[in-house]
């Protein structure tokens, strides 16, 4: 049986599935339910400094987009950090950690960007026995207007400064949570690294408007006729998050920096993908908010089964395994040729591959052969783009089949070359490097 125990910057948990800092981790009641359900750890919802708690809107806090059958694909929120008293939170954290010593409890923090504020909160958090802290530099709404959250996360110099303060003032591991609302995620990651962070976690939520009420012409979620951008999360953001994780994992400046992966993780497979790209563990929120805490059972069993099947003994066997395969476009092998192939037994003849290819791509799929409705790839036209695979409603009905070296590519009329050749040396590239004589 695969061993999925997780050791993330010295924080141990029975599995790599943590709940992210968010409503599910706002108070002891929820966290205890999560631990009972099997979650390996939580990042307690962000605490602010001592004083009157923040207030939230009293109308809708969430907006969403849906796929077929109203399956939730993306969620956004305009909720702020915890609106509960600091002392209540600290008491509960201490109690829960005492009751659940084998689970990870990391406390998310967000206080004003002055050293005194951090010096004040770090010892009281440390006193709870929490395993670490996560610096919330990502929250994109509300708090950022007050100079916190994403307002810090969007300025690498601030990140480095605050991380340094924290490292100087606590013995707890520091995880720096990054905002995706920037153009190059490597910059804030490098800054956190320079400040001495133990790890980064990403992504926080993405600035978003999920909808517009077409009667009132108000953005959603709508508060008394007005709306504000919220933070977007859920399955829809997963590809964006994975790219950002991979960018940091393969950046020579941050290579080896532990990453806690966040962004739309819903199944064991999502988690495994994040970890393969370099995440040391994962954090989940939207999936739990959609289906409840029980989903972790599927995640645990699914990850174990896959690891057993593939012979991966521990998480270290999978973490970062895909990172070396993430490269720049210019290094992709232009001599690699694949063609779509339609499994006629699996085909249900919906014709979507045909019309997608015919209308919008390369006219490489038939709709009628000898007067019969029939969908088949015309190899001489197929550029191997994969659009048909993506629009086909049947899993594995259309596959991309690589052509072996030497096989004639009917589109180009040339045999497939066995030689790896990329854009950097391509004759059409005016910047091409001259091949060594």
Partner 1 sequence: MPEGQFKEGIVGGRLAADQYADNFSDLHPPLDHHEALVESDRCYFCYDAPCMNACPTSIDIPLFIRQISTGNPIGSAKTIFDQNILGGMCARVCPTETLCEEVCVREVAEGKPVQIGRLQRYATDVAMSENKQFYPRATPTGKTVAVVGAGPAGLAAAHRLARHGHDVTILEARPKAGGLNEYGIAAYKSVDNFAQAEVDYVTAIGGIDIQNGKTLGRDYQLSDLIRNYDAVFLGMGLGGINALRADGEDADGVTNAVEFIAELRQASDLSSLPVGRRVVVIGGGMTAIDAAVQSKLLGAEEVTICYRRGQEHMNASEFEQDLAAANGVTIRHWLQPRRVIAEGGKVSAIELEYTALSGDRLAGTGETLTLVADQVFKAIGQSFVPAALNGSGASIELEAGRIKVDAEGRTSLAKVWAGGDCILGGDDLTVSAVAQGRDAAESIHRSLTQG
Which CB, 309 or 359, lies closer to partner 1?
Answer: 359
Distances (CA, A) of 110 to 19, 20, 29, 72, 162: 18, 15, 22, 29, 11
What is the rounded CA–CA span in Å between residue 178 and residue 139?
9
* Piece of the chain touching partner 1 by CB under 8 A; list 169-177, 224-232, 255-263, 351-359: 351-359
Contact 110, 158 (CB under 8 A): no
Q: Which residues pair with 314 in a beta bridge?
A: 3
Q: Which of 69, 370 has the CB closer to partner 1?
A: 69
Determine which residue in the list 349, 414, 424, 429 makes contact with partner 1, applying CB under 8 A.
349
66 beta partners? 72
Binders in 246-265 for partner 1, by CB under 8 A? none
Distance CA 258, CA 261 (A): 10
Q: State which H helix or E strand residue 282 sits in.
A: strand 281-284
Residue among 276, 380, 402, 399 nearest 333 (CA):
402
Min dist. Cβ of residue 352 to partner 1 (A): 6
Does residue 321 touch partner 1 according to CB under 8 A? Answer: no
- Per CB under 8 A, does 370 bind partner 1? no
Residue 366 binds partner 1, judged by CB under 8 A = no
Which of 113, 139, 166, 392 is the catalytic position? 139
**What is the CB-side half-sphere exposure of residue 8 using CA atoms within 13 A?**
38
Q: Is residue 351 within the footprint of partner 1 (CB under 8 A)?
A: yes
Minimal distance in Å, beta carbon 351 to partner 1?
3
The answer to whether the CB of 182 falls within 8 A of the CB of 154 is yes
169 or 361: whose CB is closer to partner 1? 361
The first and second tokens of residue 17, run together, are 């599935």
Q: How far is the CB of 353 from partner 1 (least distance, A)?
A: 9
**Residues 376 to 435 in contact with partner 1, rule: CB under 8 A:** 393-394
What is the token pair recorded at 125?
């958090």
The count of other CB atoms within 10 Å of the CB of residue 356 is 17
| Cα–Cα dist 309/313, whole Å | 10
Question: 139 an active-site residue?
Answer: yes
Alpha helical stretches, state H, 361-421 = 387-391
* 397 and 377 Cβ atoms separated by less than 8 Å: no
Provide, rounded to whole angstroms, the least separation between the CB of residue 316 and partner 1. 42
d(CA 286, CA 274): 16
Tell me which stretch binds partner 1 (CB under 8 A): 14-22, 191-199, 282-290, 347-355: 347-355
Smallest distance from the beta carbon of 356 to partner 1, in angstroms? 8
Which residues within the stretch 187-246 sit at the binding site for partner 1 (CB under 8 A)? none
342 binds partner 1 (CB under 8 A): no
Out of 57, 355, 385, 389, the only residue in the binding site for partner 1 (CB under 8 A) is 355
**Which region, judged by CB under 8 A, interacts with partner 1, from 44-52, 92-100, 264-272, 349-357?**
349-357
Q: Say whether residue 373 binds partner 1 (CB under 8 A).
A: yes
Distance (Å, whole) CA 184 – CA 247: 9
Give Cβ neighbours of residue 222 (< 8 Å, ≥ 6 apart): 59, 60, 213, 216
Least Å distance between CB 252 and partner 1?
46
Q: Which is nearer to partner 1, 346 or 408 (CB)?
A: 346
Q: Cβ closer to partner 1: 199 or 388?
A: 388
Of positions 354, 364, 388, 398, contacts partner 1 by CB under 8 A: 354
β-pairing, 408-409 vs 368-369, is unpaired
> Of the listed pieces 72-80, 167-175, 344-352, 418-426, which binds partner 1 according to CB under 8 A?
344-352
Contact code string over 48-87 relative to partner 1, x by CB under 8 A: --------------------xxx-----------------
Q: Nearest approach, Cβ of 350 to partner 1 (angstroms)?
A: 4
Binding of residue 348 to partner 1 (CB under 8 A): yes
Residue 352 interacts with partner 1 (CB under 8 A): yes or no: yes
Cis, bond preceding 221 (omega within 30 deg of 0)? yes
Angular region, 10: left φ>0, alpha ψ -120 to 50, beta rest: left
- Nearby residues of 121 by Cβ (< 8 Å), 6 or more positions away: 47, 49, 50, 109, 111
Residue 100 or 375 with smaller CB distance to partner 1 = 375
Could you tell me the smallest distance in angstroms from the CB atom of residue 355 to partner 1? 4
Interacting residues toward partner 1 by CB under 8 A: 68-70, 348-352, 354-355, 367, 373, 393-394
Q: Which residues are catalytic?
A: 139
């Amino acid at each position: 049986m695969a061993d999925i125990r997780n050791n993330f910057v010295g924080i141990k948990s029975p599995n790599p599935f943590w709940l992210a800092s968010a409503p599910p981790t706002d108070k002891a009641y929820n966290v205890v339910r999560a631990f009972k359900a099997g979650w390996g750890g939580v990042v307690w919802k962000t605490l602010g400094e001592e004083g009157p708690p923040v207030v939230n809107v009293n109308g809708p806090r969430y907006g969403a987009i849906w796929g077929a059958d109203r399956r939730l694909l993306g969620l956004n929120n305009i909720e702020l950090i915890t609106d509960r008293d600091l002392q209540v939170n600290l008491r509960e954290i201490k109690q829960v950690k005492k009751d659940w010593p084998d689970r990870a409890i990391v406390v998310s923090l967000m206080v004003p960007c002055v050293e005194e504020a951090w010096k004040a909160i770090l010892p009281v958090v440390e006193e709870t026995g929490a395993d670490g802290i996560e610096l919330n530099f990502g929250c994109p709404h509300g708090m950022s207007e007050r100079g916190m959250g994403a307002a810090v996360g969007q300025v690498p110099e601030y990140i480095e400064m605050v991380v340094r303060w924290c490292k100087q003032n606590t013995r707890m591991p520091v995880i720096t949570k990054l905002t995706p609302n920037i153009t190059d995620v490597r910059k804030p990651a490098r800054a956190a690294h320079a400040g001495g962070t133990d790890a980064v976690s990403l992504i926080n939520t993405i600035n978003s408007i999920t909808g517009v009420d077409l009667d009132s012409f108000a953005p959603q979620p709508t508060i008394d006729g007005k709306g504000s951008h919220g933070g977007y999360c859920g399955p829809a953001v997963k590809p964006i998050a994975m790219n950002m994780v991979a960018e940091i994992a393969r950046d020579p400046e941050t290579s080896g920096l532990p990453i806690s992966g966040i962004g739309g993780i819903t199944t064991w497979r999502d988690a495994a993908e994040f970890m393969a790209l370099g995440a040391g563990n994962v954090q989940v929120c939207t999936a739990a908010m959609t289906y409840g805490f029980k989903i972790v059972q599927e995640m645990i069993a699914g990850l174990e089964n896959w690891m057993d099947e593939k012979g991966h003994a521990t998480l270290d066997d999978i973490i970062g395994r895909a990172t070396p395969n993430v490269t720049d476009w210019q290094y992709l092998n232009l001599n690699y040729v694949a063609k779509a192939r339609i499994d006629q037994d699996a085909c249900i003849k919906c014709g979507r591959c045909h019309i997608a290819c015919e209308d919008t791509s390369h006219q490489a799929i038939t709709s009628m052969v000898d007067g019969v409705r029939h969908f088949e790839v015309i190899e001489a036209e197929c550029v191997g783009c994969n659009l048909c695979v993506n629009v086909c409603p049947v899993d594995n009905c259309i596959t991309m089949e690589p052509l072996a070296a030497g096989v004639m590519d009917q589109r180009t009329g040339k045999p497939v070359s066995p030689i790896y050749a990329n854009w950097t040396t391509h004759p059409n590239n005016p910047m091409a490097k001259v091949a060594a004589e």
